[in-house]
Amino acid sequence: MLIIDAHLDMALNAIEWNRDYRLSAHQIRQEETGMTDKIDRAKGTVSLPDLRRGHIGLVVATQIARFNQSNGNLPGAGWNSPAQAWAMTQAQRAWYEAMCDDGEMVQILDRTSLENHLTLWLDETIPNEQKPIGYILSLEGADSLVNLSYLEKAYAYGLRALGPAHYSTGRYAPGTGLSGPLTAEGRELVQEMDRLGIILDVTHLTDEGFTEAMSLYKRPVWASHHNCRALVPHQRQLTDDQIRQITERGGVIGGCFDAWMMKPGFTQRVSNPTEFGISLETIIDHYDHICQLTGNSQHIAIGSDLDGTYGTEQSPSDLDTIADLQNLSGLLTKRGYSTEDIENIFHKNWLRFLRNAWT
C-alpha cells in the first residue's frame, strides 16, 4: 500500500552528514562503521532504495538551517548569520535538484504534478525501482529567511510548506523547549504564508505561538510530525485542544516515530527502545487517542522524522529501515482498524489535504 511520509530531513543528511542516499541504509551504515562525529553514525534507517522498498512514493522533505543564538539549547547546531543559514538551505535545495537530475526524485509543486506522480506510483506494472520518489519541499524553522522577501523567492523555487519554529529561540518564533508568542516578524511571516498559499506546519511552535499562528492563518494547517501530550507530557506534543483545533479546520497530524515522543520517560542518548518497550505498535496508541477525540480516522497519518539526527538507537525496536513502516498495516488491523482506516493513515489523509490546498 502506498505510503506518504510528511517529514524527512533528507538533504540535511546528504549535505551535513555526507550520506549518499542512493545507497541502501545498510550500505550507508557499513560506510559509517567506526565514525563517531555524529551520534547516529552507522545507525541510519532512511535511503532512497529503502523508501522504494517500503512503497513510500511521496515525502515532505525539508530544508533546515538554524541561526545560532547564544541561549539556544542545541550547541553548534546553528549558523552565525541568517545569510549563512540561507546559503545552507540552498545547498540542500541543490541536492534535491541533483537527485531530480539523476532520476531519483521528482519535485511535486501543484495538483497536476501530484496527480501525475500518483498515477505512476499506483501503476503496478512498473517496478518501484524505476519510480522516482516524489517530494514536497518544506522549510523546518524559518531562521534562514533573511527577510520576508525571501519567502516569495522560496515559493518561486518550489517551497510549499513551512514551520516557523524549530528548537529553542528563533527569529520568527520560539520553538520546542521555550514559551512565548511569535515575534513581530513571525506574525508577518504567517500572514504572508497565508497570502501565498504556503502550508503552515505548526510543529515545534510554543503553545502561545500555536494559538497566535492559528488566528493569523486562515487555511487548513498540518502538524507534520507530532504526537499527543495526553500520552507523553511534554511541550513538544499536541494538547487535546490543539488537536481539536487542527482537525476542526480540516488539518492532518503526522505521527512521529522518534522514541522519546512515543512513550513517556524515554531519555535521548540514554534509553534503549527495546528495553523501554517501544515498537511500531506504540504509535497506534497516539492514533487511537486522536481517533477518540475526532470520532474518525481522517486526521491521522505518518510524519516519521526517521532521519531527524537519530537512527535505530532512537527508533521503534522492530524498525530496521523506513521500509518497515509497511508493517504498520498488520498491527493496525490487529488493533481493529479497517482497510479504509489504514488507507487513510498511509496516504489518503495527506492526499485529501493536498488536493484541497492545491485546488
Residue 72's pLDDT is 45
Residue 70's pLDDT is 54
Mean pLDDT rounded to a whole number for the chain: 96
DSSP string, 186-205: HHHHHHHHHHHTPEEB-TT-
The proportion of the chain whose per-residue pLDDT surpasses 70, expressed as a percent, equals: 97
Report the pLDDT averaged over residues 282-300: 98
Hunting for cell 526524485 — which residue is that?
A: 105
Q: Per-residue pLDDT tens for 150-172?
A: 999 999 999 999 999 999 899 99
Give the span between the Cα atoms of 55 and 37, in whole angstroms: 32
Task: Answer whether residue 241 shows pLDDT above 70.
Answer: yes
Q: Per-residue pLDDT tens for 221-234?
A: 999 999 999 999 99
Domain total in the chain: 1
Report the pLDDT averaged over residues 173-178: 94
At 95, list the grid cell: 541536492
CATH of the domain at 23: 3.20.20.140
* CB of 356 closer than 8 Å to CB of 250: yes
Q: Per-residue pLDDT tens for 245-285?
A: 999 999 999 999 999 999 999 998 899 999 999 999 999 99
Residue 144's pLDDT is 98
CA nearest to 121, candidates 333, 351, 356, 352? 351
Hunting for cell 511571516 — which residue is that?
A: 189
List Cβ<8 Å contacts ≥24 apart for 148-153: 148/185, 148/188, 148/189, 148/192, 150/86, 151/189, 151/192, 151/193, 151/196, 151/198, 152/192, 152/196
Q: Per-residue pLDDT tens for 183-229?
A: 999 999 999 999 999 999 999 999 999 999 999 999 999 999 999 99
β-sheet bridge partners, residue 111: none
For residue 166, give its domain range. 3-357
Q: Map residue 107 onto helix, strand or coil.
A: strand
pTM to 2 decimal places: 0.97
Report the pLDDT averaged over residues 66-78: 63
Q: Per-residue pLDDT tens for 125-145?
A: 999 999 999 999 999 999 999
Report the pLDDT averaged over residues 6-30: 98
Q: What angle do CA 353, 216, 5 make, to 5 degrees?
A: 30
CA nearest to 227, candidates 288, 139, 162? 288
